[in-house]
Amino acid sequence: MLSTKASCSSHGQDSSYFLGWQVYEKNPFDEVVNPTGIIQMGLAENQLSFDLVESWLRKNPDAMGLKKDGESVFRELALFQDYHGLPAFKNELVEYMAKIRGNKVKFEPKNLVLAAGATSANETLIFCLANPGDALLLPTPYYPAFDRDLKWRTGVEIVPVHCSSSNGFRVTRLALEEAYQRAQKLNLKVKGVLITNPSNPLGTTMTRDELNQLITFAIAKNIHVISDEVFSGTVFDFPGFISIIEAARDRNLESTDVWSRIHIVYSLSKDLGLPGFRVGMIYSKNETVISAATKMSSFGLVSSQTQYLLSNMLANKKFTSKYMKENQKRLKKRKEMLVSGLKKAGIECLKGNAGLFCWVDMRHLLSSNTFEAETELWKKILYEVGLNISPGASCHCTEPGWFRVCFANMSHETLQVAMQRIKDFAERSSCSGIGKSYQQNMSSFRRKLLTSNWVRKLSSSDRDEQER
Amino acid sequence: MFSLLCTGVCNLLIANLLLVEFLHMGTHDLHPHVVDHRQELKHILLFGFCYEDVVYSLPLFSHSSILYPVLVHTQQLPYRKGLTNSARKIDMAIENEQPAVGLSKVAVSETHGEDSPYFAGWKAYDENPYDESSNQSGVIQMGLAENQVSFDLLEKYLEEHSEASSWGIGAPGFRENALFQDYHGLKSFRQAMANFMEQIRGGRAKFDPDRIVLTAGATAANELLTFILADPGDALLVPTPYYPGLDRDLRWRTGVKIVPIHCDSSNNFQVTPEALEAAYECAESMNLKVRGVLITNPSNPLGATIQRSVLEEILDFVTRKNIHLVSDEIYSGSTFSSSEFISIAEILEAHDYKNSERVHIVYSLSKDLGLPGFRVGTIYSYNDKVVTTARRMSSFTLISSQTQHLLACMLSNKEFTENYIKTNRESLRKRYEMIIKGLKNAGIECLKGNAGLFCWMNLSPLLEESTREGELALWKVILNEVRLNISPGSSCHCSEPGWFRVCFANMSEQTLEVALERIHKLMEQRKSKET
């Protein structure tokens, strides 16, 4: 009765990534009313800098009230559905994007296409670059929802580029070649490589060397490079962020073919913490892509009300400078708190300088070097420790035992509780032997967590996902 | 979809032979200008019979197996009867050359439809827009179905309820709202939408907020539903004339085809069981699997509601064929009198919701509330699987939570909504009567309408020739000389030339007066030419 797309599982919602959310929803942690609840650490949101935005809002009621200099601009905005986007908004966005990149690159508003979130921007870009049955190469581990965003309605395939902990999960030329060969063997036409830089879930920025390898590879194979830079505003430490456009420009590739095959995706959901407002964008120097993507954006325009509010906010350069600086400071502090908390529990993280999460190494806690053991560990951490973290398998990591743990979507106090729980868990695990089960050693407080209440609450009803 | 053009029966045979040869050619043998659409070419052989269109001469090149396929929109074919030689040449267009930097077929196709006159008129308007004070000789935009007649009510609401556009003092609700990207949508907003939809239907149908899926506009809703109900290559049946944007919305990225259900003025363009059957058979003859029927009720561009008996017939048809029915009710709040609009929801209710899992309703606030910029669309489905899937897919097109918050406040205010619905209807009705009267005084008849933001005007007596070309020629005169941008029926796939859609709610009364004067003048000039 329904289409193949409707009946298949490419929406990806049967994965563990989303199961954890369901469990969390049924028993969410609250400092006051539910201190034994599950702490959500699987949601890459940035809640650290809202106060700065709120303060700006208080001082700018006109922007919220759809007024300009006291006069209502409601009618114009209500009618404004031009898929070229509000000019003032795009002007501010390109300046903001440049600022994030230390003004080392400049962006033109005419090369920017707005979309309802990066989710929409990524899908639209794939519709423009690839036909059903074509393939994209994606370095692993990668954001779980790419399986839905890039493949579901487009009919495009993802061929993973395997990265490993042996070199900090860096993308290598060999890995790219190997993935390309694999795609050829499967008779898949590779149309492009999609990277997320800074990386989700690794929380690292790509090195210039990596970027150069990618560009060289794209030139050699005559394919596109899509750089999802949604986390570019969350870089808080050395070595800093290099955008793909900067790397290409530094190689003097501006007047070559590959320049029109490099595309950036960005969004205000991560650094500005505004995922609900659905502001995403595509940046490309390719006129045909811009033209097609602009028309396609009809299927996911940004509300003019929101465009107006944010164009005013981003126009305030004092605000954006202060925000960027302060936000980075807070992210760095939070990250350090998580890293040291994990260290105390004998758990190491991949050294990261960006993002809203850590890529945590729990291989030593696995009962065996398998994904079954990883799932087992993940469930333990979910049900017994009460933390929803994302298992590496859901990110297509090739090595079991890695987990993505978010730190910016909760209060300082909540993170402390989480750290304590992890420490206790790690102690128990080492007491009763590495990786072995530990029920008997639990304190009565912990026993509460095991009450059948939880088990009863767990049903298989549908629940939503959506997070990075 | 492609169409191969040849003259006469003799050449048709030659063409078919060449076609067969062409289909077996290797890809590398294809001329670089030919985009490889050979799958679709298979339909050509049946195509002509279906539409009774026949065929036109096409110069055959000495490289005899190379043909220049012409990309022709299926619905344009009915106009091809009696095309002159020069018209044929104009119509032959070489498919877009595949750019050096490999992009997708979707990206380079013309299915976005933006090269049609519907959009060309906008360009002329943009270059010389009418303004009451500064440009009184400019082009008056009458091709844009916007509702600007009730803004004062909205502005008043916003003035009196600042909490809707802010998040309260010191913005306490801001954080939660800014983080809210749950694809279920704000519950309060869904509730408010359900209530609003019920009010529009005078309480004659009930809506469950949990069956409402939110999308960024009806544009997204229609595309999304198509992705869910049909596979690439399948077909949806749509009554003509229809909203030009559907060509893009239903077909572009989905790869689904539209097969028209031909309606004509003999019965006020109503859908008949015969027309439904004919469309279905046409699709079958082209080996297209029909997945559903999509109707717009009230109709765009007719500006009229669909009668109860017709809705019953359509529902009966889709049930017999075991296919879906999408009812785009985007203009439901723009009926001039509340009792005249019958929603498919009412029909289902009368049938105790039997067989309702094949029915889906699309709605939006762009027309009734005049808020196209806010991107608020909904899908209401009686099918659980469709609701679940649509919800997941809506991730690609969520409504800004800021906007959901604003509208949840506004639409939860019963006093406001009741007054708005009533007043808006009344204002639209007045506007409609004004334009009808003005046109009548000029000697122009319109289809009897009772809804929408436009009227369906009959200018066929003015055509030099009763063809699409004749209609476009007249349209150009009206655009360039009378300086009114109106939408030619051919852009809406109307099978009868001479009809035009004229919008009346996207301007002030004064501007409408000016437009009517210009039309009057045109008619006077024509009359005096004749005598």
pLDDT tens sequence across A117-152: 999 999 999 999 999 999 999 999 999 999 999 999
Q: What is the pLDDT of residue B182?
A: 93
Which one, of B446, B509, B1, B500, lies nearest residue B233 by Cα?
B1
* A201 cis-preceded (ω within 30 degrees of 0): yes
Tokens representing residue A265 in the block:
């995706």
Q: Which of A127, A305, A464 shows the shortest C-beta gap to B406? A: A305
Which residue, chain included where needed, has tokens 């908004």? A89
Q: Residue A357's closest CA among A383, A381, A338, A330?
A: A338
For residue A303, the distance in angstroms to the closest alpha carbon of chain B comes to: 4
Phi-psi region of A447 (alpha: psi -120 to 50; beta: other; left: phi over 0): alpha
Q: What one-letter code names the amino acid at A420? A: Q
* B385 classed as catalytic: no
Which residues contact residue A460 at a Cβ distance below 8 angstroms, ignoring those fewer than 6 apart? none
| Residue B166 φ/ψ region, left for φ over 0, alpha for ψ in the -120 to 50 degree band, beta for the rest | beta
Cα separation of A116 and A298, whole Å? 10
The per-residue pLDDT for A447 is 53
Provide the β-strand partners of residue A197: none
CATH of B180-418, one of 3.20.20.70, 3.20.20.150, 3.40.640.10, 3.40.1410.10: 3.40.640.10
What is the rounded CA–CA span in Å between residue A113 and residue A94? 11
SS3 B211: helix
Best residue in B183, B397, B399, B405 for a mutation probing chain A (most A CBs within 10 Å): B397
H/E segment holding residue A39: strand A39-40
Residue A73 has pLDDT above 60, yes or no: yes
A389 within 8 A of A42, measured Cβ to Cβ: yes
Listed by number, the residues of chain A in 281-310 with a beta carbon closer than 8 Å to a beta carbon of chain B are 286, 288-289, 292, 295-296, 298-306, 309
Query: B400–A261: do the CB atoms touch at under 8 Å?
Result: no
Q: How far apart are CA A282 and CA A290, in angstroms?
A: 8
From B453's Cα to the closest Cα of chain A, the distance in A is: 15
Of B44, B1, B49, B2, whose CA–CA distance to B20 is shortest?
B44
For residue A210, give both structure tokens.
């990596």
Confidence bin at A442 (pLDDT 50/70/90): very low
**Is residue B328 annotated as part of the catalytic site, yes or no?**
yes
Distance from the Cα of A130 to chain B's closest Cα (Å) equals: 5
Q: Report pTM.
A: 0.86
Q: How many CB atoms within 10 Å of residue A287?
A: 12
Q: CA of A306, closest CA in chain B: separation in Å?
A: 7
Whether A113 has its CB under 8 Å from any CB of chain B: the answer is no
Instruction: Evaluate whether B376 touches B365 at the Cβ level (below 8 Å).
Output: yes
- What is the assigned CATH class of domain B117-150+423-530? alpha beta
The amino acid at B260: P
**B493 touches A at CB < 8 Å:** no
**Token couple for A300:** 């996911």
| pLDDT of amino acid B110 | 77
For residues A264-279, average pLDDT: 96
Output the pLDDT for position B114: 77
How many CB atoms lie under 10 A from the CB of residue A281?
27
Closest CA to B435 of B499, B332, B487, B509: B509
A63 near A69, Cβ under 8 Å? no
Residue A276 touches chain B, beta carbons under 8 Å:
yes
Mean pLDDT, rounded, of chain A: 91
Q: Residues of B with CB below 8 A from A77's CB?
A: 373
Instruction: Tell me, yes or no, if B422 comes closer than 8 A to chain A by beta carbon.
Output: no
Residue type, B395: S
pLDDT of A17 reads 65
Q: Domain residues of chain B, as ranges?
A: 117-150+423-530, 180-418
More confident residue, B91 or A326: A326
What is the rounded distance in angstroms from the CA atom of residue A273 to the CA atom of residue A267? 10
Handedness of CA B274, B276, B281, B286 (dihedral sign): positive
Q: How far is CA B112 from CA A147, A291, A296, B109, in A?
A: 26, 11, 8, 7
Q: Residues A159, A179: contact at Cβ < 8 Å?
A: yes
Chain B residues near residue A286 by CB distance under 8 angstroms: 101
CB contact B508 to A (< 8 Å): no
Among B166, B229, B401, select the one facing A64 at the smallest CB separation.
Answer: B166
Which chain A residues have a beta carbon less than 8 Å from that of B400?
116, 276-278, 302-303, 305-306
Nearest-angstrom CA–CA distance, B252 and B248: 5
B34 in contact with A at a CB cutoff of 8 Å? no
| Plot region of A73 (φ>0 → left; ψ -120 to 50 → alpha; else → beta) | alpha
Out of A53, A131, A306, closest to residue B104 by CB? A131
Structure confidence at residue B450 (pLDDT): 96
CA B190 vs CA B9, B157, B178, B213, B411: distances in Å: 59, 20, 18, 8, 10
Contact A314, A90 (CB under 8 A): no
Q: Which residue has the tokens 């080996």?
A: B287
- The span from the first CA to the last CA of chain B, in angstroms, equals 46
B contacts of A120 (beta carbons < 8 Å): 396-397
Can you say how many angstroms the Cα of residue A183 is from the centroid of all Cα atoms in its chain? 25
Name the token pair of A237. Answer: 């430490």
Spell out, as residue ranges, where chain B has pLDDT lower than 70.
1-101, 117-118, 169-172, 531
Angle (nearest 5°) at CA A322 between A321 and A325: 85
B343: left (phi over 0), alpha (psi -120 to 50) or beta: beta
Give the separation between CA B296 and CA B344, rounded to whole angstroms.
Answer: 11
Q: Do B179 and A47 touch (CB under 8 A)?
A: yes
B530 Cα to chain A: minimum distance (Å): 43
Helix (H, G, I), strand (E, B) or coil at B500: strand
Which has more pLDDT, B41 or A31?
Answer: A31
As given in the structure block, the two tokens for residue A177 are 């070649």
User: In this predicted model, what pLDDT tens digit does every residue of A184-222 receive, in sequence order?
Assistant: 999 999 999 999 999 999 999 999 999 999 999 999 999
- Return the pLDDT at B167: 82
DSSP secondary structure code for residue A385 in this structure: I
Instruction: Collapse the DSSP code of A425 into the 3-class scheme (helix H, G, I; strand E, B; otherwise coil) and give the result.
Output: helix
- Of B91, B234, B249, B328, the active-site residue reads B328
Q: Which residue has the higher pLDDT, A61 or A176?
A: A176
